[in-house]
Amino acid sequence: MPDTLKLIHIIKYSKKMADYIEPKVLKGFRDFLPQAETVRRGLVEKIEASFRSFGFVPIDTPALEYAEILLGKGGGETEKQIYRFKDNGERDIALRFDLTVPFARFTAMHSAELTFPFKRYHIGKVWRGENTQRGRYREFMQCDFDIIGSESPATDFEIILLIHSAMKNLGVDVTIHVNHRGLFNRFLSNIGQSEKSVEVLRAVDKLGKVGEGETLKTLTSLAGETNAKKIIEFISAKGGFSQTLDRLTELSGGVCPESERLADLCRYMTEAVGSNGNADPFLINPSITRGLDYYTGVVFETFLNDLPDIGSVCSGGRYDNLAGLYSKDKNSVSGIGASIGLDRLIAALESLDKLPSADNCRTAIACVEIEKSGQYQRLAGRLRQEGIPCEVFTDPCGEKQLVKQFVLAEKKGLRYVIIPGKNPPSDPVTLRDISARQNKELTIEELIWVLKR
Amino acid sequence: MPDTLKLIHIIKYSKKMADYIEPKVLKGFRDFLPQAETVRRGLVEKIEASFRSFGFVPIDTPALEYAEILLGKGGGETEKQIYRFKDNGERDIALRFDLTVPFARFTAMHSAELTFPFKRYHIGKVWRGENTQRGRYREFMQCDFDIIGSESPATDFEIILLIHSAMKNLGVDVTIHVNHRGLFNRFLSNIGQSEKSVEVLRAVDKLGKVGEGETLKTLTSLAGETNAKKIIEFISAKGGFSQTLDRLTELSGGVCPESERLADLCRYMTEAVGSNGNADPFLINPSITRGLDYYTGVVFETFLNDLPDIGSVCSGGRYDNLAGLYSKDKNSVSGIGASIGLDRLIAALESLDKLPSADNCRTAIACVEIEKSGQYQRLAGRLRQEGIPCEVFTDPCGEKQLVKQFVLAEKKGLRYVIIPGKNPPSDPVTLRDISARQNKELTIEELIWVLKR
């Protein structure tokens, strides 16, 4: 619609109180107030910087897609939670519920324009009509990064290294739990249980929720007591990376491509970031399976060393044939990808008091005389040139009411108020430290020096 | 839905070719490939930096809102273009079509948590089912910034100064065309035509589209020939800011609060950014009205000096009672706001060859032997520490096939490929300049020095 109609109805309908509309947001949706939004943007910026430093590039896709694209020809579980509707042209459309399916469609459509291996990241909102009682949101931001078009073990390694590096750049230490779906299948085959792999994987996936006792019961009914105990032994293997890998390899019937893949990963990681005995930044956790049908190779979850109970903050794995549904081309596009759980990560960083401090404005210039607004902004411009953010207050207080501007600054969480001299921007100023309640006379050069610290 | 179900259907349905789904995006929607998305993110980052340097803070609101909130109790033109539907709980919901209406709802809901004057910016996607034949998109990004809760002339000035400053930071010179809605009304009253102000404004608003002849005809039928000529004279006034203002003030019956407001603005702007005669960065353009019902004070449009014909890249104005529709409170929240047309700005910067060059990765490390992947990443880590983005190639080429990696680098638009020595990261390297097709032997310190330039 034309700009001119933007807010007509607000003016029009607000005249009569009878037309008052209660302001509210939909359940499961959130407003982000300045502080929360500053934190979110700051965090995303830092994570993006890590992606870029590894040569990953951003893409974006539409929020709305044809429902057929998002749902395939099936639907099932997904269909119940998707925001799906008919547009004015009677097209069957829906809001994206993740960034992976649009990426598959994107890859099939644009493969001729992309260079493989393709390393991309995608940060954007997705929508799911989930049950909000479990503390889930219906609108949230996803942060995915993938390398597609290569089966090299160096890509598995790079994704895991990038997680480690991105978290380090956020000031937190993590332990990345790695597993290989193929190794588990080989083990099942070795104990003659490969035809039950789906059921077994499902039972193992629930281990964390239902406990070892319950899992053993389920497994016994599936595979008999001896095999059930072997499965529990397999998924409970612990210790350093190499030690665990040796044990798993033995249980799986000896060295195989999957155990070699994990051994490569271990060697690369150790060479790249080192290892310090008990506090390895990565380990093998054979109980991690990451779901049943999708991943085909290495899978992983990431835990904060200081807050492991909050759950994995970054998970993913290797998959085959990303774009298969949308591509007539027989060449499959395999890859490895990960997704950072931003909401969970923010909650964790907050409780660890490690939220990145945003490069916020800390300083305002007091508006003493409105007539000098132009000069105040020149003074502010001088500071901004030096990289110092600076607000200019806009409602005049007069020389005797400066305290009003101090109160405003305090409410806004600012640290300093500059009271300009008679002739801004050249005259010396008074700098008010709001929390210390102290004033200092400073030349402009001194002011810049103080504010740059 | 659980992560485990993420892509099940892709795997499931891609097995049979009969289930192939044609990959396509909805009309009016766009994929952003890495280059376009890098440009867009880079531009947004630069604009955000300007906002922050003025002490503006970010907010975000949900993409979906109750339809009643977005449409008021009316609808009309807006209703035809909005994406509106029933969710699974039979709620009547819709996608936001701009950022202003959600901001009004936000302000009414959170006024107790905000500090006024409140200076915020909001960058996000909006959706309109518009006719795409006019080259409009159905999904696009808006970039709004407002100061609300103050009627000070210093706020009008600050918004206009911020536009000027943000555009300067993007490397382009602009001319901001300013007008005052109240001054025009006063002029109409002075010629006895105030009761026809809506019709007259509508006719004037079309001046650019239909030309002066047609406008004169319409105005004559509305207000008689003499008055029509006076109106044309008023809206055609040209020259320097003060000169034009003097003429308009005279035609409106002499000095009044509205003419004083514009005079203040002129003085502040001149003090803050200077003025150089014919190339003023701002001027009065009395034909700018910015629609009929919404704005109540100063209005403005922004034109690029090197590409004025592309139209205004940033427009807005002063309004009363933003949150009135959603607030029982009798205190109105007035303010001034502006919106940057990102798509248009990107198109303009592109044709002026002034798109900000993204801080992209220019360098890759060749993967000669896969076994050294860990060491290659250590070398890359050394560069990243110095602020140099660096990709590591993941598919080994062997020493005799390095050309394959050069070709890959060229395809990706990289400038350099590093061929590591025998023992990375400490050994000297060979640096390949892709476009110059030259190799150089360098120590790690020399490498850092070259790549930092």
CB atoms B394 and A91 under 8 Å: no
CB atoms B129 and A30 under 8 Å: no
Q: Where are the alpha helices (DSSP H) in A353-436?
A: 373-385, 402-411
Alpha carbon B198 to chain centroid, angstroms: 30
Secondary structure of A337-377 as H, E, C letters: EEEEEHHHHHHHHHHCCCCCCCCCCCEEECCCCHHHHHHHH
Q: Which residue has the tokens 């390398």?
A: A147
Of the residues B6, B24, B136, B156, the best mutation for testing chain A's interface (the one with the most A CB atoms within 10 Å of its CB) is B6
Task: Output the pLDDT for position A11.
Answer: 42
Calpha distance A170→A45 (Å, rounded) = 11
pLDDT band of residue A75 (cuts 50, 70, 90) is low
Q: Which residues pair with B127 in a beta bridge?
A: B139
A396 neighbourhood in chain B, CB within 8 Å: 152, 154
A255 in contact with B, Cβ within 8 Å: no
How distant is the Cα of A125 from the closest Cα of chain B, in angstroms? 9
Q: Where are the alpha helices (DSSP H) in A206-293?
A: 207-223, 225-236, 241-251, 257-273
Of B65, B87, B390, the CB nearest to A83: B87
Of B57, B87, B147, the CB nearest to A34: B57
This complex has an ipTM of 0.91
Q: Where are the alpha helices (DSSP H) in B252-305?
A: 257-273
A307 token code pair:
């807050």
- DSSP, collapsed to helix, strand or coil, labels residue B438 as strand
Task: Output the pLDDT for position B7.
Answer: 45
CB atoms A106 and B31 under 8 Å: yes
Q: What is the DSSP code string of A176-196? A: EEEEEHHHHHHHHHHTT-GGG
Higher local confidence (pLDDT), B127 or A399: B127
CB atoms B68 and A373 under 8 Å: no
How distant is the Cα of A351 from the closest Cα of chain B, in angstroms? 22
Task: Output the pLDDT for position B9.
Answer: 42
Calpha distance B203→A10 (Å, rounded) = 23
Give the pTM. Answer: 0.91
CB atoms B72 and A10 under 8 Å: yes
A148 neighbourhood in chain B, CB within 8 Å: none
Question: Looking at chain B from residue 390 to 419, which residues have their Cβ under 8 Å from any Cβ of chain A?
Answer: 390-392, 394-396, 408, 411-412
Question: A330 vs A101, B286, B350, CA distance in Å?
Answer: 19, 63, 38
Question: Looking at chain A from residue 283 to 302, which residues have their Cβ under 8 Å from any Cβ of chain B?
Answer: 290-294
B65 neighbourhood in chain A, CB within 8 Å: 25-26
How distant is the Cα of B110 from the closest Cα of chain A, in angstroms? 9
Q: Is B136 left (phi over 0), alpha (psi -120 to 50) or beta?
A: beta
pLDDT band of residue A136 (cuts 50, 70, 90) is confident
Of all residues in chain A, the percent with pLDDT exceeding 90 is 72
CB atoms B25 and A61 under 8 Å: yes
pLDDT of A321 over the 90 cut:
no
**pLDDT tens digits for range A332-341:** 789 999 999 9
CB atoms B272 and A381 under 8 Å: yes
Calpha distance B118→B112 (Å, rounded) = 12
CB atoms B69 and A21 under 8 Å: yes
Q: Do residues B426 and B434 lie in contact, with contact meaning Cβ atoms separated by under 8 Å?
A: no
B5 neighbourhood in chain A, CB within 8 Å: 77-78, 291
A112 neighbourhood in chain B, CB within 8 Å: none
B312 in contact with A, Cβ within 8 Å: no
Question: Looking at chain B from residue 28 to 47, which residues have their Cβ under 8 Å from any Cβ of chain A?
Answer: 29-34, 37-38, 40-41
Pick the residue from chain A with its C-alpha nearest to B71.
A9
Question: Domains, chain B, ranges and CATH?
Answer: 34-351 (3.30.930.10), 363-452 (3.40.50.800)
B142 in contact with A, Cβ within 8 Å: no
Pick the residue from chain B with its C-alpha nearest to A86.
B85
A144 in contact with B, Cβ within 8 Å: no
How distant is the Cα of B255 from the closest Cα of chain A, in angstroms? 18
Residues of chain B with pLDDT under 70: 1-19, 73-77, 275-279, 291-293, 329-331, 358-359
Question: Looking at chain A from residue 331 to 370, which residues have their Cβ under 8 Å from any Cβ of chain B?
Answer: 339, 359-361, 364, 367, 370
Question: Looking at chain B from residue 214 to 253, which residues have their Cβ under 8 Å from any Cβ of chain A?
Answer: none
How distant is the Cα of B179 from the closest Cα of chain A, in angstroms? 15
CB atoms B23 and A374 under 8 Å: no
A123 neighbourhood in chain B, CB within 8 Å: none
Average pLDDT over residues A97-103: 93
B139 neighbourhood in chain A, CB within 8 Å: 62-64
Of the residues A32, A47, A48, A57, the best mutation for testing chain B's interface (the one with the most B CB atoms within 10 Å of its CB) is A57
- DSSP, collapsed to helix, strand or coil, labels residue A96 as coil
How distant is the Cα of B8 from the closest Cα of chain A, in angstroms? 6
Burial pattern A239-271, b for ≥16 Cβ within 10 A else e, equals eebeebbbbbbebbeeebebbebbbbbbbbbbb
Of B93, B269, B315, the CB nearest to A3: B315
Question: Looking at chain B from residue 158 to 217, which residues have their Cβ under 8 Å from any Cβ of chain A?
Answer: 158, 161, 165, 205
Question: Looking at chain B from residue 3 to 22, which residues have their Cβ under 8 Å from any Cβ of chain A?
Answer: 3-14, 17, 19-22
Q: Strands B64-66 and B92-95, how do they pair?
A: antiparallel
Burial pattern A308-346, b for ≥16 Cβ within 10 A else e, equals eebebbbbbbbbbbbbbbbbeeeeebbbbbbbbbbbbbb
Task: Output the pLDDT for position A87.
Answer: 94
CB atoms B78 and A5 under 8 Å: yes
How distant is the Cα of A54 from the closest Cα of chain B, in angstroms? 5
CB atoms B4 and A290 under 8 Å: yes
Task: Output the pLDDT for position A408.
Answer: 94
| Eight-state DSSP code of residue B357 | P
pLDDT of A446 over the 60 cut:
yes
Calpha distance A391→A383 (Å, rounded) = 10
B321 neighbourhood in chain A, CB within 8 Å: 10-11, 14
How distant is the Cα of A173 from the closest Cα of chain B, in angstroms? 17
pLDDT of A310 over the 60 cut:
yes
Average pLDDT over chain A, rounded to whole? 89
- DSSP, collapsed to helix, strand or coil, labels residue B314 as strand
B127 in contact with A, Cβ within 8 Å: yes
CB atoms B272 and A374 under 8 Å: yes
Q: Do residues A262 and A127 lie in contact, with contact meaning Cβ atoms separated by under 8 Å?
A: no
Which helix (H) or strand (E) covers residue B129, if one does? none
C-alpha neighbours within 13 Å on the C-beta side of residue B272: 26
Let me know if A175 is exposed, middle or buried by CB neighbors in 10 A (0-12, 13-18, 19+).
middle
